[in-house]
A and B are shown apart, each in its own frame.
Chain A
Amino acid sequence: DAKTTQPPSMDCAEGRAANLPCNHSTISGNEYVYWYRQIHSQGPQYIIHGLKNNETNEMASLIITEDRKSSTLILPHATLRDTAVYYCIAGLMDSSYKLIFGSGTRLLVRP
């Protein structure tokens, strides 16, 4: 399993874009990049995933570099409710694949 590296904490102002980086330099060709987040004292929530193309859904955008060694999760208009720990995970697209969580990035959205 590819290891991911994220900054321990970040902050942004409410209404501004939050850009959360992730390094995954050892990712293999068939591993996807998944993003989950965990709001305090709750279970994690799936955000988005991608292989090599940029992806966008109703929650966020995912930008993956051409060499796939890093990616950025973008929350276009952060709200206070986006304050959470964000986890970047490299893994296979398999429903039985176990997610190995790293330390994540603690995002604080400031009013």
Chain B
Amino acid sequence: GAVVSQHPSRVICKSGTSVKIECRSLDFQATTMFWYRQFPKQSLMLMATSNEGSKATYEQGVEKDKFLINHASLTLSTLTVTSAHPEDSSFYICSASHPGQPHSYEQYFGPGTRLTVT
């Protein structure tokens, strides 16, 4: 089956620094990837939709200058949290769809990245 990986799985950074999270589709090409954020005991909140070769589409209330998304290839999307603050501490999850396949309606999720900002 299709596999999506994320790196790193956990990261701790100091307040004011930037952190980059990578999302890779390992065995398929993903024209569309999604980024979610999840706070403890809460549901997933969609942050943005990332399309290969074009600008990401951000959900209402998500600061695009703070959460930079780059989808430079069909297998890689990155999320950079700029000038991180403790309130950005969260579980970040990406997903990818596999168009053109029999199960193209299914989204494949990465294992998530836990960000802690101190």
Contacts and interface: CB of A to CB of B under 8 A. Distances in A.
Interface residues of A, number: 24
A94 interface: yes
A98 B95 CA distance: 10
A96 interface: yes
Interface residues of B, number: 27
B99 A98 contact: no
Interface string A7-36: 000000000000000000000000010100
A95 B43 contact: no
Interface of B: 4, 31-32, 34, 36, 43-46, 49, 51, 91, 93, 95, 97-99, 104-112, 114
Interface of A: 32, 34, 38, 41-46, 49, 85, 87, 93-104
